[in-house]
Amino acid sequence: MTPTENGAVAAPQPVAAPEPAPALAPVSAADRIQALDVVRGCALLGILLMNILTFGLPFAAYGNPTVAGGSTGLNLAAWVTQFIVFDGKMRALFSLCFGAGVILLTMRGEKRGAGIDTADVYYRRTLWLLLFGLLHAYFIWWGDILYPYALCALVLFPLRKLSPRTLLIAAGVLVSLLTLASLGQGRQMRETRDKALKAQAAEKAGQKLTKEQEDAKKNWEKALKEIQPPPEDVKKEIDDYRGGYLSALKRRAGLTFRWHSKPFYFPMMFDFYAMMLVGMAFMKMDVLSAGRSWRFFAWMAALGYLIGLPVNSLAAWQSVHANFEPLQVMASFVTYHFGRVAVALAHLAVILMVVKAGALAWLTRRLAAVGQMAFSNYLSHSLICTLIFYGYGLGMIGKLQRYQLYGVVLLIWVFNLAWSPLWLRRFQFGPMEWCWRSLTYWKRQPMRIRQPALAAAAAVPAEASADQGAGGFGGQLVE
């Protein structure tokens, strides 16, 4: 107590209690998990290795290099490397990070006593993601992954309480179902081919075809056009994308509607669900924070590569040996899912060991920034590539060989690795992350980093700053 002017003793003034932190709010930089951000950054950049093929070449050339882009020499080597090491593996890592985000968001809200508001925020951000996906797919690029991820997220919330063991078993069941579905599709396609050949022989002999024979013939011709389209169809696709925006929009809308019209439970969704469940389990098991032992990660990498690489290599060799004959292309999917999951988990283990060791800090810091801004960077890939390859830009679709497309990938990687950390020096979120968070919490989020905080961050050694993480879309998605 302090004396007043007349000598009386003044009563102590009450000290205002600090305002409690909101139960639900965007994650702070200090709460981010650097290892998870690095994985997400690697996955995002790796996905572009696959997506570039559907930007720069006709769609069928993705799995069948004889369609366009070259199928010999460096072009064949590019296809083989992509199939064995990257195809489906980067998407698996991205889905895994998405599943981890479900646990991070809900766990943080529940720990802070948010109660039912956790579900409110979760589903609100999911519905915004669904809208973003629709806009992206129809107006920018048909190969959007945001829309199917949002559909998956609608189902994942009730699964957040399951044990890691249950989540991993469920993921294994889904991968097994995918394999059985591929086996069934291959068998069905072979039967259709055999019936179609008999129908063609009967037609040449002057016999009138039955309805079953007519259907078999049409179905086989349709399947062939999917995997080995005739030159006139390939030219039409390229011309549509080289035309103006409306021409590309019409082509894109048809593909998008076809993709979005598939049943919610069709096999491709199992692909996403399986790895999202693995991500949820790994988040609970302290795997994605690089908290497990060196022995754990070493075994994970060794087993993944020892199983996955030979399986994928055999499938690639069979396709090449058969000159990408349609039935053989379908047959390669029988082992595809087990092979890709094994290699994806091996990739994950290697990335986490690098982070755990503190190696390549100059690169992992940038990858973490790319991961924190994954939503913005993902959309930047679509905008940049459509401007390069479509007619309302440079119109380069079909003009580069397969191996040359990876030069474009390298340039975009350099751009992402450069601009992401530069942006995050001044701003708390990437531009799309800021927009998404503001819509999710229905409140304009602060964008700029305050100067005192900026100065404090500058005073922290680079290594310590990296340990705090940078962390966005796919891992915490919107926190």
* SS3 at position 91: helix
Mean pLDDT of 408-434: 96
Return the amino acid letter for 401.
Answer: Q
Helix (H) or strand (E) holding 211: helix 211-227
Rounded (10°) angle between helices 374-389 and 34-56: 20
Confidence (pTM): 0.87
In a domain, 209, yes or no: no
DSSP code at position 428: S
In a domain, 318, yes or no: yes
DSSP 347-364: HHHHHHHHHHHTTTHHHH
Any bridge partners for residue 3, and if so which?
A: 9
CB–CB of 95/276 below 8 Å? yes
Which residue segment(s) compose the domain that 341 sits in?
29-171+241-468
CA atoms within 13 A on the CB side of 168: 9
Residues 6+ apart with CB under 8 A from 195: 212, 213, 216, 217, 220
Q: How far is CA 276 from the centre of its chain?
A: 11
Mean pLDDT of 374-395: 97
Q: What is the reported pLDDT for 31?
A: 67
Q: Which of 72-76, 184-188, 340-344, 415-419 has the lowest mean pLDDT?
A: 184-188
Domain count, the chain: 1
The residue among 371 and 189 whose pLDDT is bigger is 371
In tens, the pLDDT along 257-316 reads: 988 888 777 777 899 999 999 999 999 999 999 999 999 999 999 999 999 999 999 999
In a domain, 371, yes or no: yes
- pLDDT band of 28, cuts 50, 70, 90: low
DSSP code at position 228: S
In a domain, 383, yes or no: yes
In a domain, 307, yes or no: yes
In a domain, 231, yes or no: no
- pLDDT band of 29, cuts 50, 70, 90: low
Return the amino acid letter for 432.
Answer: M
In a domain, 19, yes or no: no
* Residues 294, 159: Cα–Cα separation, whole Å: 29
* Residues 17, 417: Cα–Cα separation, whole Å: 43
* Residues 356, 354: Cα–Cα separation, whole Å: 5
Q: Quickly tell me which residue has 């409690």 as its tokens.
A: 20
Q: What is the reported pLDDT for 427?
A: 94
Q: Report the share of the chain in percent with pLDDT over 90.
A: 67
* Residues 452, 439: Cα–Cα separation, whole Å: 27
Residues 6+ apart with CB under 8 A from 181: 267, 270
